[in-house]
Structure 1
């Protein structure tokens, strides 16, 4: 997931481009709705990528914590313990006496599913490959910390783009709401003709 490029052809480039919100009040209602849908789809995609990156970060943190706690992989029950811990990291279930994940349920309700899922998965896999963490148990402590820093940096960039996309989506939503509030649009216009 590269950063948005001014004048680029990708959806994120359009949504975050200078002209996306210009003259919003003068556009036909259908165009404002289309722009909102475009922003919503991009937000869904960025949220998907962000969750994947957070999962990779959780795996790295769990391995760093396991090593700091003196647990050893291998030997009797070692692989089973690692699988159990990684399962806890990647689910929303309570972990022992810990509370549920604090980030669960804090997102927006989206009416669209992520698009380009395979493309996004490949991007995240490339980040993971670039930092060399396909086998966390084989990496040194230093390699794990460096990989975590790089994955977190990438996740922060995705999150920053996501916030900007949400702002564009909110601006379009506010414009649609304004038109209904001021009587420039009617709910009846959305109903099929009989």
Structure 2
């Protein structure tokens, strides 16, 4: 993966979150959440591409007739619409620019021209593209999971402050 979390968060992560005032703690959480959102966006796009590649592999291995890629999208993408865990609330946010660079790695694996003629791509090349796309998805999942752990650490500090008497206005402000 071209972009690592360390490339996106330039300031040193505070060792002692308890030493931060509320504004700094909230700011730190917002920066972490922004990075997590970028990884989440890129991961969803990569998962869609992976589902498309795997759908074509499955179609070929089953001996089914060629299908138009656009026509097969609803069934291909609809099969894998939910992942583990609880659904998260929807967010209408613009992904950060660097997330598009991560998504651009997909085109290095298999570009739009090959996708447009997916039914003509050699089976070995298709399997290789699916494997490489899966590896990218795993890298994104690992980076996203690491961001969740960091966010959880900040959330735990906020919860601790609330339990220890911090005012709601201080916590939400």
Normalising by structure 2, we get a TM-score of: 0.82
What do you get for the CA RMSD once the two structures are aligned?
2.8
- How many residue pairs get aligned? The number is 170
Alpha carbons 2:5, 2:35 under 8 Å: kept: no
Q: Distance in 2 between matches of 1:178 and 1:113?
A: 29
1:135-146 alignment runs, 5 A limit: 135-146=117-128
Give the 3 Å change call, closer, same or farther, for CA 112–83 of structure 1 in structure 2: closer
Deviation at 1:137, TM superposition (A): 1.4
* Bigger relative contact order (CA 8 A; separation at least 6): 2
Structure 1: 5+ residue runs without aligned partners?
none
1:107–1:159: structure 2 CA closer, same or farther, 3 Å change rule? farther
Query: 1:90 is matched with which residue?
Result: 77
What is the TM-score normalised by the length of structure 1? Answer: 0.74
Structure 2 residue ranges without an equivalent (≥5): none
Query: How is 1:143-182 mapped onto 2 (pairs within 5 angstroms)?
Result: 143-182=125-164
Is the 1:48–1:114 Cα contact (8 Å) retained in structure 2?
Answer: no
Name whichever structure is richer in helix by fraction.
2
Q: Secondary structure at the match of 1:89?
A: helix
Higher deviation after alignment, 103-112 or 167-176: 103-112
